[in-house]
Chain A
């Protein structure tokens, strides 16, 4: 057994130990409490069919149509319809509750499942999607898996895992006004690199983390995968419990009391030993913008592209070393994704957009139908429309370009998503990652601009 599984234990070790079914040759068979599926799960269903197997626990398994969900009927294709239909058929054949088009519970898997109260502290969550790390925001141990593992969980409700090294990222201080959890995540990646946490389960800790709202915690844990980590984790506290209480599928009544009593113990023991520790001060975080083709190719908005920047990346992005970040012109903008498609993200962007109009096209795809509904009720959707934005249906949309939404080759997009990889938003597309208010600022000025300045103008006026 690895050293962190003896007292004093890390929080991840506590969850791990509780889920260990058996050990073989130093590898543990872990029990899985929640298994989420999306259209991409078709490979695993095909494998189950081939071998004539059933799902061991359909009632612990939930599906949702998100990756191929069209943001506009105008961009729906035969492929999007086929993929969504295939999930629906597989879910019904195997007895799984799946949120399809028209179901008010539908949204991006990492937005919709928490909204339903499915993700809870202390549970193990897996999904065939790397951003499953998002669910660690609730104090769950949550990680992405591949299709073979998806099939394994379907058939056995377990997964083989080698004991994972645990890394602590402590964030002291407080995020300054105008900066967000997205900026914090990018600042950490700037500091430690995209390989900085490779293979580790990350536990966040510190005053700045405790002060984050539930939605901000989700943004931070979501981006933790971009540090190379397997998972992110925020110790559950009153913020977590308040957010979960009364959600449709969360425990209720006596069950709720029993659950909360157990959840309060899900923090690391004092003196727990970590395989790696990093500390930073939130007060030093500024709005961050990526300039390259990897999330670690990032700089503060008032900074510049490094003089020694990778030429290959710059060539793809059509930028030059040493150029200031502010002022880079953009062709379009996108607000959405499991990183920044929640209500608070839309509110933050709307604060910049209110009373202004767009310089370049902006597509908004809310993280879920529930987020869309609330944004309509609160008048936020109207602010986007009044500015000239396209208010699309919920889904992964331009984060990954599978649903018909694409950025054209050579076009530059200011985006709230999580990956600026080559071709991620379409072949030849150039992506700049930033926070929702920074995307809004880019959309109204047509160039990368400091959202804090735009917000300050308002206070003056």
Chain B
């Protein structure tokens, strides 16, 4: 994962609540490998009509590429746990999503892949949605160390879990860190399975 300090680029709005991961990436595209890229499939059925032409009424189509900062309504990323939804957003060009709330698994998947999920108060998000509907592509900056996002000439502070912030700023992945504690995992296992031999599945037959 690349370290993240600051981001800048256009912001745009998707004024919808409950944007589920089936909408972010329809299930029929899920067989692709990560290396093949998912950007063209992001929001596919909202973005393109049946002949593959860009739909004029899809707000993000006002921009030539995906916005760096995407603003959406409540419960963004609900539904299937598919991490491909995060890959699709990143490959489409989105680096940060702002919403009043996010679905649990989506938020966790985002953190693992360097997609920032920024929760702002509902009233703030409503104002941003209205503003960006008028002016899609308004320049935006995210300053991770300072926990600040700027859209146009407005600045908003945001909260982030300190552990996640540290990992994002340094581009660290969980796995290598955990493996350094392999001894403690082994010690846990010895006492845990010792007390509960029945935890291991019985070999059938």
Contacts and interface: CB of A to CB of B under 8 A. Distances in A.
Given A422-B45, A427-B45, 20 more contacts: A25-B163, A26-B163, A43-B34, A60-B200, A60-B201, A62-B201, A82-B31, A83-B31, A118-B201, A128-B83, A129-B80, A146-B82, A148-B113, A158-B178, A194-B18, A230-B104, A249-B202, A401-B28, A419-B79, A421-B22
A157 B192 CA distance: 13
Given A130-B79, A228-B78, A422 B22 contact: yes
B83 A195 contact: no
Interface of B: 16, 18, 20, 22-23, 26-28, 30-31, 33-34, 45, 50, 74-75, 78-84, 86, 101, 103-105, 108-109, 112-113, 161-163, 173-175, 178-179, 181-182, 184-185, 188-189, 192, 196-205
A324 interface: no
Nearest to B74: A195
A129 to B, nearest CB: 6
Contacts of B175: 51, 151-152, 155-156
Contact of B83 (A25, A146, A157): A146
9 contacts: A43-B83, A118-B201, A144-B81, A147-B84, A157-B185, A162-B161, A198-B103, A228-B103, A402-B27
Contact of A259 (B16, B22, B50, B198): B198
Contacts of A228: 75, 78, 103-104
For the complex of A and B, 10 pairs with smallest distance between CB atoms: A146-B109, A148-B112, A251-B198, A146-B83, A255-B198, A147-B83, A248-B204, A144-B81, A130-B81, A249-B201
Contact of B162 (A22, A25, A198, A199): A25
A179 B161 CA distance: 43
A123 B199 contact: yes
A31 B188 contact: yes
A424 to B, nearest CB: 5
A262 interface: yes
Given A29-B178, A194-B75, A199-B104, A145 B81 contact: yes
Contacts of A33: 199
Interface in A387-431: 400-402, 409, 419, 421-424, 427-428
Interface string A228-265: 10100000000000000000111110011011001000
Given A40-B30, A130-B80, A155-B179, A421 B108 contact: no
Contacts of A158: 178, 185
Contacts of A149: 108-109, 112
A330 to B, nearest CB: 21
Contacts of B108: 145-146, 149
B202 to A, nearest CB: 5
A145 B104 CA distance: 10
A35 B84 CA distance: 20
A79 to B, nearest CB: 5
A156 B178 contact: yes
Nearest to A97: B201
